[in-house]
Amino acid sequence: MNLSQPHKPILSFGMMLLMAIAVGITVASNYYALPLLHSITEDLNISVDRAGSIMTTAQFSYALGLLFIAPLGDKIERKTLIIALMLLTIVGLLISGLSHSLTLLIVGTAITGLFSAVAQVLLPFAATLAKPSHKGKVVGVIMSGMLLGILLGRTFAGAISTLMDWRMVYLIAASCMVVITLLFIYLLPRYKSNNTIEYWPLIGSIFMLLLRNSSLRVFAIIGSLSFALFCLFWTPLTFLLSHPPYKYSDFIIGLFGLAGSVSALGSPIVGKLSDKGKGSWLILSGLGVLLFSWLPISFAPSSIIVLIIGIMLINLAAQITHVSCLNAIYQNDPHMATRMNVGYMLCYFIGGTVGSLCSTYLFNHYGWLAVAIAGALLSLIAIFIWIFYLIKNRVKE
């Protein structure tokens, strides 16, 4: 690999864990609003559809950050870039925490989402520093941090909102980000690729990779569908649980993230299996579980126990699919690691944006069953796409 320094830094176990924690806390910033939506609608006196725009803004701005900011990881010294992006994410959290109108909250959410794309600089950075035989394991650990952040961030947000106020969630999160940033200033290794490509051609090369690399394109489609389904479920869940027959508080709603967090612990195992060449069949298995999960999810309005089973299944499925896709992508040229990751994750979060947007509309106008039916249909489409890809490429593991 052509690097600006004579030797590539070695990824230690401690640094891998710190990066996983940083990714989790950073990505969680875009999901704190989920258990708070009911409280925000009441406090700011807005409709369910307008409250749903908070999550849509978070996903869309994150996708923009992926496209225009994360590729800089292949051009700018990564430690400097990571610290700068984390500081800007803190600014967004502070704006959200001090907001008293939907407009200001949307502005804070947009800034947070845009610069929290730093997670997608950290992820390929960790994979690049890892030994080739350990890439799957490292990706699995980092992805565990990401999913735990998304899920436990909701539990944290629900608890703080119930004990204090929903704005304190963002202020405390900003404080945690400050601590992580200080640790990175002292501990994160410096690393810079010698890519000389200019910024706009760098951005354009992402789309060229998606157009020319058929495997990356299929992984991106599968990833976008899986995350669309993930958001299709989680976004309207808050409204289901905050209204009759449940009428749960923000704290109780946040606790449902614990049910899904169990699946995140399996990411390192999925990564190891991917390293052994089982990625294709892991993706197929994940999509199968994803399809089945909508059966218990459809009974959510009448049974909490069945809902919890559905939560565990859909999170397990999303994790298996996502980690397997990412590990396959990271086996390519390390000089293109960030851009290939960006191409995949851009499609991934566009899928999440569409899923969040459609979910609130379906739930508000047609009810929970419509959400479940849409989820099952999209799951079937993903399975058919992947099977067609396997047959076309005659994958044999």
Q: Per-residue pLDDT tens for 206-262? A: 889 889 888 889 999 999 999 999 999 988 998 899 888 898 888 888 888 887 776
- How far, in Å, CA of 239 to CA of 55, rounded? 13
pLDDT (average), residues 109-135: 87
pLDDT tens for 300-314 read 999 999 999 999 999
DSSP label at 195?
Answer: -
- How far, in Å, CA of 4 to CA of 233, rounded? 45
Q: Which helix or strand (DSSP H or E) is residue 123 part of?
A: helix 119-129
Instruction: Look up residue 234 and give its amino acid.
Output: W
Quick one: pLDDT at residue 209? 87
Task: Report the range of poorest mean pLDDT among 137-141, 160-164, 272-276, 283-287.
Answer: 272-276
pLDDT tens for 323-360 read 888 888 877 665 666 678 788 988 998 898 899 889 98
Cβ contact 154:34 at 8 Å:
yes
Quick one: pLDDT at residue 1? 38
Please say if the pLDDT value at position 13 is more than 80.
yes
Quick one: pLDDT at residue 266? 64
Question: What six digits make up the tokens of 323?
Answer: 């980690």
Query: Hey, what CATH topology would domain 13-393 get?
Result: Growth Hormone; Chain: A; (1.20.1250)
Please say if the pLDDT value at position 160 is more than 60.
yes
pLDDT category of residue 195 using cuts at 50, 70 and 90: low
Place of tokens 């399809």: 291
Quick one: pLDDT at residue 251? 84
Provide the residue ranges of all domains of the chain, joining segments of one domain with +: 13-393
- How far, in Å, CA of 147 to CA of 262, rounded? 10
Q: Which of 217, 147, 195, 203 is nearest to 388 (CA)?
A: 217
Task: Write down the mean pLDDT value for the chain.
Answer: 86
Quick one: pLDDT at residue 223? 94
Quick one: pLDDT at residue 272? 67
Please say if the pLDDT value at position 6 is more than 70.
no
Count Cβ neighbours within 10 Å for each residue of 290-304 and write b for 16 or more, e otherwise. bbbbbebbbbbbeee
| 150 vs 30, more confident | 30
172: Cα within 13 Å, side-chain hemisphere: 16
